[in-house]
Amino acid sequence: MTALGLRHDESVTPLVVDFVGNSAYRPHATPYIVDNPYRRPLHRDRLAAVDWRSPLTEDGFVSDRSLLANRLLMNVYESDAMFLPVDGLRGKERDFAAFYDPAARVLADRIRPTAERFALGFLDESVQVNGHWDEAETLAHLEATIDEATNADFPVQDAIERAADPRRAAEMLMVQMALDGLTEATAMSQNLGGAYGAEQSELFKIFIDEFGYGVFAAKHSTLFTDLCASVGMQTRAHHYWFFYLPSSMAVNNYFYRVTRDRTGFFRYIGAMALLEATFAPWFARLTTSMRTIFGDSVDTRYCDEHAHIDQHHGRMAVHDLLLPLARKHGPTAARGLIRGVEEIRLLSSLADADLLAQLAWTPTARSARSASDVDPGGARPEIRELGPTVPFETEVADADTSVDVSSGRVDLHWTGTGEPLTLAAGEGVGVPKGRLYGLSADADAVVVVSRRR
Amino acid sequence: MSRSVRVELNWPAENTVVVGERHYFAYDRGGAVHVIASRCAHRGGPLHLGEVEDGRLRCPWHGNSVRLDRLCARAAAVFQRGSRIIAYLPAGPAEAGSPATDPAPVVTNAIVLAR
């Protein structure tokens, strides 16, 4: 039973449908959201079909259900944070009112526990922290984990450098980073209030670094937008909404989950400490990749700042925050801290694998498949009509999928930037299981989407 | 701060750790693996050869029984991910004036009746 009286096994579908009915989440015609932080399309019918009583498993973490649930959760969380359009509110007053509608907030609070359990509950099974943890065991495990992480390879940076189109691959990485980069430290701000001793002040020290000591130009999110702008990418939240991978959103949602629920405090500190302690070499390597790919014109101050300040944040988060908490609050706190460390390590590795698979996929057109190539054991082929008035949507292929154009011309989108792959009638494309894609057409067109043999 | 010895087990193929004269066994309680010192508080009996009944582990020597939930709560610090078990066992007491050293832990598979 949740605090709000919902049983976890109770279907929240009617509440989800109500929530999605909010005009801020209405369908959107084009692949990008232009300067409106409240517009975050949610697909009502697909969300209504989710069985919330069957949570995701680790094996099913990269799936269409995961994409839908994490988008929903993201809106649940972020509608509790402050967003204003960069160019002002004029003309967007209705979306502002809808996004922050108090009735929608009540729905969000009722949906949240079940949606969290659905999207992230598998962590309880996948990560186990047992026995009696004291400061010594906590420090030993943390040191070993940080050592392992900081001495690991950099597969994402290696992949974007080796990609068929390195620029496009680097931009897809930045699209994923935008989830946190544009709202940096919002989850952290949730734990600034209250009263919990000297550790509260230690967290605040890290927070003020994230916020550039009150200087907007030095705020980490400003440095991130400068990075994006320097390579010609859009900087408004959430311009690339349709191209967030489910795993990237899950990592972001995790931090909201463990901060919204105050019992998750120790998990939050553990997860945050691990990232702060391992970010410095990761971002230093990213600077090298960015320079290699974009040359001297790229503004890498965001990466450079992390490469520098996270050396300090790692030490501060571990020795001034995490260990004192373990010492002061005992084994239950220590178990929570270690759980947070391991949960974010697992989520990050799943997110890396998801992104690497997306980066490795370069769709190419081929002749359309015939009906005999369709998997007879799979679902019936779906015939979709596309056109300029049909809302845009992205999805994750839950099986190896074939998209074949029957009439018209169709664009396949698979990254947040770059030209789509245009398919003419009689052409098709394979979408590997787990990959994110969207279809659009400037004029009327028909495609057949089927499970591949 | 007390010291600890880090060991890694490939569960369930490996179910036992021996550090010098200290013996630990792995016990699965509802999917959560605990690494428990196999030494009865009464006369030092081998708890890993005891029987589990009604949530209690019965020592094979003198029949003393202890609640498993309490035994697990006092067990070694364990992180578990799939079959990978990392445990932190308490280090032995250091001799006065000498550096603290422990025998290297031996991870093995042994007969464990306590299941």
Q: What is the pLDDT of residues A201-255, one digit of tens each?
A: 999 999 999 999 999 999 999 999 999 999 999 999 999 999 999 999 999 999 9
Which residues in B lie closer than 8 A to residue A126 (C-beta atoms)? 81-82
Interface test with A, best of B5, B70, B71, B79 (most A CBs within 10 A): B79
Query: Given this model, what pLDDT does residue A358 score?
Result: 98
User: Is there a contact between B75 and A342 if contact means CB atoms under 8 Å apart?
Assistant: no
> How confident is the model over A357-404, as pLDDT tens digits?
999 999 999 999 876 666 666 678 999 999 999 999 999 999 999 999
Q: Is the pLDDT of residue A4 over 70?
A: no
Q: Is the pLDDT of residue A8 over 70?
A: no
Q: What does the alpha-carbon distance between residue A76 and residue A23 come to, in Å, rounded to a whole number?
A: 14
CA separation, residue A202 to residues A136, A143, A319, A321, A325 (Å)? 21, 20, 10, 6, 11
Query: Given this model, what pLDDT does residue A3 score?
Result: 47
> Which of A297-306, A328-337, A365-374 has the weakest average pLDDT?
A365-374
Interface test with B, best of A59, A125, A126, A132 (most B CBs within 10 A): A132
Whether B68 contacts chain A with CB within 8 A? no
User: Is there a contact between B72 and A135 if contact means CB atoms under 8 Å apart?
Assistant: no
- Contact status, residue B16 vs residue B107, Cβ threshold 8 Å: yes
pTM for the model stands at: 0.91
CA B96 to chain centre: 26
Q: What does the alpha-carbon distance between residue A301 and residue A303 come to, in Å, rounded to a whole number?
A: 5
Mean pLDDT to the nearest integer, B62-71: 94
Query: Given this model, what pLDDT does residue A369 score?
Result: 85
Which residues in B lie closer than 8 A to residue A128 (C-beta atoms)? 31-33, 78-81
DSSP assignment of A297-324:
GS--HHHHHHHHHHHHHHHIIIIIIIHH
Q: What is the CATH number of domain A130-360?
A: 1.20.910.10
Mean pLDDT to the nearest integer, A256-277: 96
Whether A122 contacts chain B with CB within 8 A? no
Q: Is the pLDDT of residue B21 over 60?
A: yes
User: Is there a contact between A338 and B79 if contact means CB atoms under 8 Å apart?
Assistant: yes
User: Token match 């680790």: residue?
Assistant: A58
Query: Given this model, what pLDDT does residue A88 score?
Result: 96
CATH fold, domain A366-451, is: Jelly Rolls (2.60.120)
Whether B17 contacts chain A with CB within 8 A? no
User: Is there a contact between A134 and B77 if contact means CB atoms under 8 Å apart?
Assistant: yes
Q: Is the pLDDT of residue A141 over 60?
A: yes
Whether A140 contacts chain B with CB within 8 A? yes
Q: In angstroms, what separates the C-alpha of B65 from chain A's closest C-alpha? A: 19
Long-range pairs, A161-164, Cβ under 8 A, ≥24: A161/A289, A161/A292, A161/A293, A163/A359, A164/A362
Whether A86 contacts chain B with CB within 8 A? no
> How confident is the model over A46-72, as pLDDT tens digits?
999 999 999 999 999 999 999 999 999
Whether B9 contacts chain A with CB within 8 A? no
Interface test with B, best of A123, A127, A130 (most B CBs within 10 A): A130
> What's the DSSP call for residue A218?
G
Tokens of B3: 């010291």
User: Is there a contact between A140 and B33 if contact means CB atoms under 8 Å apart?
Assistant: no
> What's the DSSP call for residue A216?
G
Mean pLDDT to the nearest integer, A153-179: 97
Taking all residues of chain A, what is their mean pLDDT, rounded to a whole number?
94
Whole-complex ipTM? 0.78
The residue of chain B with its CA nearest to that of A339 is B79
Which residues in A lie closer than 8 A to residue B6 (C-beta atoms)? 140-141, 144
Which of A125, A127, A137 has its CB closest to that of B88?
Answer: A137
User: Is there a contact between B81 and A133 if contact means CB atoms under 8 Å apart?
Assistant: no
Mean pLDDT to the nearest integer, A151-159: 95
Whether A319 contacts chain B with CB within 8 A? no
> How confident is the model over B71-115, as pLDDT tens digits?
999 999 999 999 999 999 988 765 455 555 778 999 999 999 999
Mean pLDDT to the nearest integer, B11-29: 95
> How confident is the model over B35-55, as pLDDT tens digits?
999 999 999 999 999 999 999
Q: Where are the domains of chain A?
A: 13-122, 130-360, 366-451
Classified as helix, coil or strand, A121 is coil
Query: Given this model, what pLDDT does residue A451 score?
Result: 87
User: Is there a contact between B35 and A131 if contact means CB atoms under 8 Å apart?
Assistant: yes
Let me know if domain B4-92+104-108 sits in CATH 2.102.10.10. yes
Query: Given this model, what pLDDT does residue A7 score?
Result: 55
Which residues in A lie closer than 8 A to residue B100 (C-beta atoms)? none
DSSP assignment of A26-95:
--BSSSS--S-TT-----HHHHHT--TTS---STTSSSHHHHHHHHHHHHHHHTTS----TT-STT-HHH
